[in-house]
Structure 1
Amino acid sequence: MIALSGEFDITTAPAVRARALELIADGHPDLVADLSGVTFCDSSGLGALVGIWRCAKDADGSLTLAVIPDWLGRLLSVAGMDTFLPAYPSADGALAARQGNRTTA
């Protein structure tokens, strides 16, 4: 699981993406991202989520979101990202949904 907090923007998105891709490369293609602490997200943050999702998918994995603030959920919906990024109201719920995957990180 990766937990994000603060601003998810042009300054922080590259490091988040790099860490997620590192986890995927290390054999953990099924990721859960806890977004409960995110206070702001710009197009760089959204782009990082798409990039992480694509890399996970290419590795036969997935990206699942957890504890999304309401404002971010609306942003993901407007961007159409809610159609391919499953979201759960709790980190435990997201982890349970991924439980069948042996490599969840």
Structure 2
Amino acid sequence: MAYGNRKAERVHFEHRYAVNLMGVDGTWQRSCVLLDVSQTGAKLEVEGPLDVLRAQEFFLILSSRGLAFRRCELVRVDGMQIGVKFVAERKKKGRAIIPK
């Protein structure tokens, strides 16, 4: 996903929408602001150090209780703004197992 050449239409927010990033292992968390979002990814403004983003994969927590979230992959870093791609569940190859 190249910046400026997106496949999905983005929705921009007029107000600041606070969200959180969390490591897939739960060991770190960062507050951030959701700047825009699409079906395939989002642009965020991160508060605090970006060193934890070396993991390249993390969760975008959209609700205060953590019930709404998306698994993300880091695409780009531009100062305090980052671009993420939503990671879809990988489909497994092979036949479906049908219980008897």
> TM-score by structure 2 length?
0.25
Question: More relative contact order in 1 or in 2 (CA 8 Å, sep 6+)?
Answer: 1
Specify which structure has the higher proportion of strand: 2
Determine which structure has more spread, i.e. the larger CA radius of gyration: 2
> TM-score by structure 1 length?
0.24
Specify which structure has the higher proportion of helix: 1
